[in-house]
Structure 1
Amino acid sequence: MKELGRLVLLLLGVVLITTSCEDDFAAAGSNLVNDNNFDALLYDASQIEVATKPLIKMQSNLLNSYSIGFYNDGVYGDYSASILTQLKLQNPSPSFGAYPALDSVILSIPYYSRPIGQNEDGVQFKLDSIYGNNPIDLEFYRSNYFLRNEDPEDDYEPQAYYSNQQETFEGYLDPQPFFTVEDFKPSPLKVSYREVNSKGEFDTILASPRTRIELPREYFQELILDREGSSELLSDSNFRNFFRGLYIKPVNTSGAATTALSLLDLRSEEAKIILYYNTSEVEDPSEEEIEQKEYSLLFGSNIVNVINTDNQTIPTGDGIYLKGGQGSMGVIDLFTDPSELETLRDSDWLINEANLTFYVDENQISEDHNQPQRLFIYDVKNNRVLQDYTFDVSANDNNPLKSRLIHLGRLDEDDNGKRFYKLKLTSYVSDIINKDSTNTRLGLMVSNNVNIFNPVKVEVEGEENVDEDYQLEVVPSPMLLTPQSTVLYGPDAPEGNRLKLNIYYTEPN
């Protein structure tokens, strides 16, 4: 009984202490809310400024992936994407035997895909990052533009090539394409092909979905096999100077605006041009004296996405206009009233959560618009992600769509059917208020992979009068590979749709 009495007294003490602690906090603020299992007050009167920034050009030779085709957008118009790439030798000074004969030449590039099930035909796949299902043509040109690794005009820093250099690059193409693919359209079906094994025999390979295009044998016979022992194949540098680049250009034969855009994994080890050939050491060999071999041309270190935005328009207005590709982004300035920030810093608040909630402008974006699932926000001044990004425990390297959902919430819908994105900036805002961290500009854009930052150089409109230390100089590279777009309400929108910085806090007496 004594033990039971002591236990009861202990529990009463805990209750009294908890009640005393709760009484130490005063109710100050606009509203009392319950969020994330804590009672907190809401402050949402902070001044915010947002500006839409159209992109003039974007560095496009350091990407993880590359797009090809057309994208038509009901709000922003349409654009096209071409690819310029170097080729490199599988190995320098190749030997093809005394009497080589080219059998076939195959361009093989994997799509981004994932298995979704299995039936009597085996594993079934779904293609990712494929937009539209309309057929287009692809033209293949030899380029005579030399892609440098270093820039002699910039103290030999790594050379940057940009998305808006179509006119320059196409001025160096051969007059006619050496090959044209008609009615190109990605397929989700797995592929079967032959591959030479270590014994010189062909094995049948089953692989994930990819484009496999048969290129003209005569062209590559003269380009590669007939040049065995020549200076052009002596080294990669010699070959890059001899064959300076391959340019792949989409062609829309329909005459009407179309969507047919594919994201290609050109950085994959499986992306290459494969030359299948027979060879022997005698002029008139028997079947036993013929060897089956293959030799590959790989995609070089310099690959450039070239974007044509002649038919694209970035709207103007009070909204936030976000367009992927060489499109537009938003720049956000928080706490634009210095006296307000000083008052907040004197408040000694405990910041429980801070977020920006962006509502979709349903008047400009229809329900069937290809709305991006994710937005990305970053520190413009320091060209880096926010602490909230770094410490997000929901990071998922294997599934970008479901990664970092705490910091970068996916497209969602409220009880009234209004779509929105909620981006949590708790650490960032807390450091500004409680640690006197520098308040900086924030960049906002669409993204197809929030796991990748990979900043690349950019030039945007309207940065001429911005302080040099705060100018927008880089953006995350996935923006260029995301054709989707949206229109969001800004801080001047009517109540209920207005962009606000919501700060949930508790305040001690």
Structure 2
Amino acid sequence: MTKNIKSILKTSLLALSGSFFMYSCEAEADDLGAQFFDQTAAQGTRQSYDITAYNISNADTIRTDASRISTANIGAFREGVFGTQKVHHVSQARLSSYNPDFGTNPVVDSVVLELRPLYPADSSKVTTDENYIFPDGNVPAKKVVTTYPINVYGRDEAQITLNVHEVDEFLGAASDPVYSNRQVTTSTLLGSKKISSKVSSIKVTKDSDNTDLFTRDARLRIPLDKTFFQNKIIAKKGQSELSDAASFIRYFKGIRISTVENDGFIMQFSPAETQIVVYYKRDVTANGTTTATPATFAISLGSGNAKFSQIEFDRSGTPSQAVSENLSDNVQSGDPLLYAQGMGGPSLGVRIPASTVAQLRELFKTKQINILSAKVRLFSDPTWSEAFEKPSGFVASPYDPNLRKMNLSEFLKDLSAFTPLNSQFKLVQGYDLTKTSAYYELTITQTLKDVIEKSETIGDIALSVGTYEINASTGNYVGPSATTRAYTPHRILLVGSDGSSRRSQLQIIYSSKKL
């Protein structure tokens, strides 16, 4: 299909001014290349080429240590294509202060593990009780309960049971690399609670003067064994176990939060804001009177602690079982279906055939073509259920199929080439993601230009479910290894090299000088 190049240039200029992604489902020219040709003596041609698309098994393993899980997951979800995926959380614990003084005759009342799940703050349901009586003093009050839907993947109407166990082995340093298949020994069951996919905050205000009587942030609270913490923490006052961090993390080595069920939902939470709160009373004497006075002590599971996600898979009897077990890529023939799953599940590889490169180089030689736009288009398989939220994007990495290794230390050059032109540029963009006609486009314009015009080599590219993390202060990408892959639970079935009209393709728009 041929278009006048002025139309393509117009699209490029719109993209440069901030409308880069406001085009229709038909891909338009990218900003790169527009400066390389004479508008009065060029034509634009759209051409599609077959590519080789294949599955990459990651052996259901991924790095999930503290440097990789700025967001973490807990839960379990099962569906018919990818089977069961379960994720548990393991973390060290640190005292809020060392050599703590719990006071005289400290006795634990209760202990809770607090998790802050992620939720959309603008989606809430508020329930107000204007006739509430606050039990401490029978004070007339107003009680406001605000309920939020937790960010979950799976069956949001389900419930899951979370168990908390004591860890029995030293977890190392926070900087140590840890993979998702690491196992740890546990012993004492510290607590258990069944949770739903909702979380609530509570605020109680006195009717007489509207002052706060009670507030509780939106947190999941799992009750823990108070006798255990009485003996493990409170009774150790003044002893070496509580004297410093190095001693404590070898004494109380940490906890494991695990999921009992094999199906339900996978919940996102903030590991940096996880803590254990010990509520206790201590004797305080004033004016000759001794009173049991409430106090609290926090044990942090957040910053500075070694922590990681344990991820389990059961693909028995599912279509993806063979993919996860196959450790040789079909780089020559490709695969008819592509199974892409986050949190260590399979990735997919794309290869531009040598014959396609040869054709384009010949066009460059004979017709002086300039690549305006080059995108790899990948369609969702129509059998993939619309009920499951599709991935918002993919991480693209250079891939060596011989070594079966992704290069996580480099961005594709297109990310560096386009981002300065448009800060909203996405290397992989999804379209119609709520429909069965969903598809993704990987931009490789600069990569292909250099292959054709500079005779550079083009290697395979691995696409993994997830996105690049962005520095909230600068708006820039943190780095090629800083991604959401370790905590993105999404998955999708895509069409590979199957010969259908929805097969994976390279779509190019190029210009050529008139003869």
Q: TM-score range by the shorter chain?
A: 0.7 to 0.9
Kindly tell me: are residues 382 and 306 of structure 1, through their superposed partners in 2, closer, same or farther at Cα, counting changes over 3 Å? closer
- The alpha-carbon deviation at position 504 of structure 1 amounts to 0.9
Kindly tell me: are residues 125 and 413 of structure 1, through their superposed partners in 2, closer, same or farther at Cα, counting changes over 3 Å? closer
Supply the distance in 1 between the matched residues of 2:148 and 2:191 (Cα, whole angstroms).
Answer: 29
Contact preservation (8 Å) 1:106, 1:275 = yes
Q: Per the alignment, in what secondary structure is the counterpart of residue 322 of structure 1? A: strand
| Aligned match for 2:82, one of 76, 86, 94 | 76
Counterpart residue type for residue 321 of structure 2 = I
Kindly tell me: are residues 262 and 443 of structure 1, through their superposed partners in 2, closer, same or farther at Cα, counting changes over 3 Å? same
Could you give the per-residue CA deviations for residues 459-503 of structure 1, whole angstroms, max 9, x where no partner exists? xxxxxxxxxxxxxxx976522322222121123432x21211112
Counterpart residue type for residue 215 of structure 2 = I
The equivalences for 1:446-461 within 5 A come to 446-447=465-466, 451=470
The equivalences for 1:274-423 within 5 A come to 274-282=277-285, 286=289, 291-299=293-301, 300-311=304-315, 313-316=320-323, 317-337=335-355, 339-340=358-359, 342-343=361-362, 346=365, 348-363=368-383, 365-379=384-398, 380-381=406-407, 383-390=409-416, 391-392=418-419, 404=424, 406-412=426-432, 418-423=437-442
Contact preservation (8 Å) 1:309, 1:326 = no
- The alpha-carbon deviation at position 81 of structure 1 amounts to 1.2
- The alpha-carbon deviation at position 353 of structure 1 amounts to 1.4
Q: Which residue in 1 is equivalent to 2:474?
A: none
Supply the distance in 2 between the matched residues of 1:139 and 1:407 (Cα, whole angstroms).
Answer: 40
Kindly tell me: are residues 49 and 71 of structure 1, through their superposed partners in 2, closer, same or farther at Cα, counting changes over 3 Å? same
| 1:164 equivalent in alignment to 2:181 | yes
Q: Per the alignment, in what secondary structure is the counterpart of residue 232 of structure 1? A: helix
| Aligned match for 2:221, one of 212, 236, 247 | 212
Counterpart residue type for residue 502 of structure 1 = Q
Contact preservation (8 Å) 1:98, 1:281 = yes
| 1:147 equivalent in alignment to 2:151 | no
- The alpha-carbon deviation at position 378 of structure 1 amounts to 2.9
Supply the distance in 1 between the matched residues of 2:271 and 2:421 (Cα, whole angstroms).
Answer: 29
Q: Which residue in 1 is equivalent to 2:251?
A: 242
- The alpha-carbon deviation at position 235 of structure 1 amounts to 0.7
- The alpha-carbon deviation at position 423 of structure 1 amounts to 2.5
Supply the distance in 1 between the matched residues of 2:421 and 2:231 (Cα, whole angstroms).
Answer: 54
Supply the distance in 2 between the matched residues of 1:417 and 1:215 (Cα, whole angstroms).
Answer: 45
Contact preservation (8 Å) 2:369, 2:513 = yes
When structure 1 is superposed on structure 2, of 259-268 and 366-375 the one drifting more is: 366-375
Kindly tell me: are residues 394 and 185 of structure 1, through their superposed partners in 2, closer, same or farther at Cα, counting changes over 3 Å? farther
Q: Which residue in 2 is equivalent to 1:187?
A: 198
Contact preservation (8 Å) 2:278, 2:298 = yes
- The alpha-carbon deviation at position 408 of structure 1 amounts to 2.4
- The alpha-carbon deviation at position 216 of structure 1 amounts to 2.0
Supply the distance in 2 between the matched residues of 1:484 and 1:411 (Cα, whole angstroms).
Answer: 16
| Aligned match for 1:127, one of 129, 134, 150 | 150
Could you give the per-residue CA deviations for residues 232-279 of structure 1, whole angstroms, max 9, x where no partner exists? 111111011111121122112xxxx522221121123xx211122333
Q: Which residue in 1 is equivalent to 2:239?
A: 230
| Aligned match for 1:178, one of 173, 186, 190 | 190
Kindly tell me: are residues 128 and 382 of structure 1, through their superposed partners in 2, closer, same or farther at Cα, counting changes over 3 Å? closer
Counterpart residue type for residue 351 of structure 1 = I
Contact preservation (8 Å) 1:71, 1:483 = no
Supply the distance in 1 between the matched residues of 2:168 and 2:216 (Cα, whole angstroms).
Answer: 36
- The alpha-carbon deviation at position 430 of structure 1 amounts to 2.7
Kindly tell me: are residues 128 and 278 of structure 1, through their superposed partners in 2, closer, same or farther at Cα, counting changes over 3 Å? same
- The alpha-carbon deviation at position 220 of structure 1 amounts to 1.0
Could you give the per-residue CA deviations for residues 129-188 of structure 1, whole angstroms, max 9, x where no partner exists? 4532322222221111211228xxxxxxx532211123xx1xx221x523222x222324
Supply the distance in 1 between the matched residues of 2:177 and 2:288 (Cα, whole angstroms).
Answer: 51
Counterpart residue type for residue 336 of structure 2 = D
Supply the distance in 2 between the matched residues of 1:34 and 1:139 (Cα, whole angstroms).
Answer: 49
Contact preservation (8 Å) 2:53, 2:348 = yes
Kindly tell me: are residues 203 and 442 of structure 1, through their superposed partners in 2, closer, same or farther at Cα, counting changes over 3 Å? farther
Contact preservation (8 Å) 2:382, 2:436 = no
Counterpart residue type for residue 186 of structure 1 = S
Q: Per the alignment, in what secondary structure is the counterpart of residue 409 of structure 1? A: strand
Q: Which residue in 2 is equivalent to 1:13?
A: none
Contact preservation (8 Å) 2:280, 2:294 = yes
- The alpha-carbon deviation at position 355 of structure 1 amounts to 0.9
Kindly tell me: are residues 418 and 310 of structure 1, through their superposed partners in 2, closer, same or farther at Cα, counting changes over 3 Å? closer
Counterpart residue type for residue 305 of structure 1 = S
Contact preservation (8 Å) 1:96, 1:279 = yes
Supply the distance in 2 between the matched residues of 1:394 and 1:206 (Cα, whole angstroms).
Answer: 45
Normalising by the residue count of structure 2, what TM-score does the alignment of the two structures yield?
A: 0.72
Q: RMSD in angstroms over aligned alpha carbons?
A: 3.7
The equivalences for 1:11-160 within 5 A come to 35=28, 40-45=44-49, 48-56=51-59, 57-61=61-65, 62=67, 63-116=69-122, 121=128, 125-132=148-155, 133-149=157-173, 158-160=175-177
Kindly tell me: are residues 238 and 203 of structure 1, through their superposed partners in 2, closer, same or farther at Cα, counting changes over 3 Å? farther
| Aligned match for 2:502, one of 489, 492, 497 | 497
Counterpart residue type for residue 386 of structure 1 = L
Normalising by the residue count of structure 1, what TM-score does the alignment of the two structures yield?
A: 0.73
Contact preservation (8 Å) 2:92, 2:254 = yes
- The alpha-carbon deviation at position 436 of structure 1 amounts to 4.5
Q: Which residue in 1 is equivalent to 2:268?
A: 263
Kindly tell me: are residues 296 and 506 of structure 1, through their superposed partners in 2, closer, same or farther at Cα, counting changes over 3 Å? same
Kindly tell me: are residues 244 and 328 of structure 1, through their superposed partners in 2, closer, same or farther at Cα, counting changes over 3 Å? same
Could you give the per-residue CA deviations for residues 94-135 of structure 1, whole angstroms, max 9, x where no partner exists? 111223232322211111112226767576644324532322
Please, which runs of 5 or more residues in structure 2 have no aligned partner? 1-5, 10-25, 35-42, 129-143, 206-211, 324-334, 399-405, 472-476
Aligned residues: 424
Supply the distance in 2 between the matched residues of 1:89 and 1:357 (Cα, whole angstroms).
Answer: 51
- Identity percentage over the alignment? 19
